[in-house]
Amino acid sequence: EEDALVDVLRLSKGMTYKASAAGLNLGGGKAVIIGDPKKNKSEALFRAFGAYVNSLRGKYITAEDVGTTVNDMEYVFMETPYVTGIPKAFGGSGDPSPYTAHGVFMGIKAAAKKKLGLDSLKDLRVAVQGLGNVGYHLVEFLHKEGASLIVADIDNEKVKKVVDQFNATSCGADDIITSECDILAPCALGAVINDNTINQLKCKIVAGGANNQLAESRHGEALRELGILYAPDYVINAGGLMNVFVELEGYSSDRAFEKTTQVFDNLMQVFNISEKDGIATHIAANRLAEKRIKMIGQLRTHHHGRTARPFSTLKEMLSREK
């Protein structure tokens, strides 16, 4: 339980900063369910969780994340309206990975603009580590842009599929981090930028969808000293959160994709703060997030702690419950 508490506090802080840097009027609530997602899932478990979420009456809105699926959220939805990422058949947004990937793609374009002065990724060598849902869709966007692709995954079938479908070059899962490329896009596990890898990097930019890409904060400083531009993970991978935000307002796939284009401008703000203040980009991202948190906090105080709820869908649900 202690480990779960530490984990959920870390996740909630990260979500608070992600929402703030993305310009979304959301807090940072997170939840952890203790158990093995391969063994302990059940309808009863998720319905019980949904009932508890419902008891909070909108103070916390849950969503699909690591270890859960869109189908799991369907069980939660049976007990509460305060859930996003539900199947499209129920008016939800379904799988968020295409939107996360599109945000990452826009973030890569921002990094290429800042570091290389390029508006297009055509012919740039992009190494994508991890071909799960986000990694696969990212490769699809990069291929359409004309990028030259290097890919790796521990699942050889996924690698073969992407190589055949997108004319990519495969690389060993242990070697892709240090492969020669213009842009390294980590889309698998975290902490890939660490003491063992950082001095072996042969890229100009690190920009991918994985969470917690820096093993430690000092590795962000080291990237800056090496002249490698780092796109902070919680800024570049905010597309999934943007997608569920749109779901709260009444879902539209077109509107969700349009919203994820904002990742470009958000990252440019981070890069400009980094350049102006002479600090690493992950520190600049924190400053951007903290500035908005402080600003919104002052607005809440000015309005006696009350802020308007922008979510008409939830308003309607609440009125029906009364």
pLDDT of 321 reads: 45
Give the Cα separation of 101 and 83 in Å (integer). Answer: 22
Average pLDDT per block of 10 residues along the chain, 322 residues long = 87 93 92 92 97 96 87 95 89 90 99 99 98 97 99 97 98 95 96 97 98 95 98 97 90 95 98 98 98 86 49 44 43
SS3 content of the chain, % helix, strand, coil (to 5): 55, 10, 35
Those residues with Cβ within 8 angstroms of residue 89's Cβ, 6 or more apart along the chain or in another chain:
none
Q: Could you please report the per-residue DSSP string of 129-155? A: E--SHHHHHHHHHHHHHT-EEEEE-S-
Q: Please indicate, yes or no, if residue 132 is contained in any of the structural domains.
A: yes
- Let me know whether 160 and 61 are in one domain: no
Domain boundary among 65, 90, 115: 90
Which pairing describes strands 205-206 and 229-230: parallel, antiparallel, or unpaired?
Answer: parallel
Please, what is the angle between helix 97-116 and helix 253-260, to 10°? Answer: 30
Output the CA–CA distances (angstroms, integers) from residue 20 to 25, 127, 150, in the order listed.
7, 29, 33
Q: Could you please report the per-residue DSSP string of 202-244? A: B-SEE--S-SS-BSSHHHHHHHHHHT-EE--HHHHTTHHHHHH
Q: Please indicate, yes or no, if residue 230 is contained in any of the structural domains.
A: yes
- Let me know whether 35 and 108 are in one domain: no
- Let me know whether 50 and 119 are in one domain: no
- Let me know whether 80 and 106 are in one domain: no
- Planar angle of CA 109, 110, 113, nearest 5 degrees: 85
Residue 259 known to be catalytic: no
- Let me know whether 115 and 34 are in one domain: no
pLDDT of 6 reads: 86
Q: Which residues pair with 183 in a beta bridge?
A: 126, 205
Q: Please indicate, yes or no, if residue 258 is contained in any of the structural domains.
A: no
How many residues are there in the chain? 322
Kindly report the CATH number assigned to the domain that includes residue 14. Answer: 3.40.50.10860
- Let me know whether 166 and 280 are in one domain: yes
Tokens of 254: 């077109």
- Let me know whether 86 and 151 are in one domain: no
Helix (H, G, I), strand (E, B) or coil at 126: strand
Kindly report the CATH number assigned to the domain that includes residue 121. Answer: 3.40.50.720
Output the CA–CA distances (angstroms, integers) from residue 191 to 14, 138, 188, 277, 313, in the order listed.
15, 20, 10, 26, 38
Phi/psi region, residue 91 (left: phi>0; alpha: psi -120 to 50; beta: rest), is left
pLDDT of 250 reads: 85
Q: Please indicate, yes or no, if residue 82 is contained in any of the structural domains.
A: yes
**72: domain range?**
2-90
- Let me know whether 109 and 211 are in one domain: yes
Q: One of 13, 18, 30, 88 is an active-site residue; which one?
A: 30
Q: Which residues pair with 149 in a beta bridge?
A: 126
Instruction: State the total domains in the chain.
Output: 2
Cβ neighbours, 10 Å, residue 11: 18
Q: For tokens 């310009």, what's the residue?
A: 23
Q: Please indicate, yes or no, if residue 259 is contained in any of the structural domains.
A: no
- Planar angle of CA 99, 138, 244, nearest 5 degrees: 10
Residue 54, Cβ density class (10 Å: 0-12 exposed, 13-18 middle, ≥19 buried): middle
- Let me know whether 202 and 133 are in one domain: yes
pLDDT of 299 reads: 80
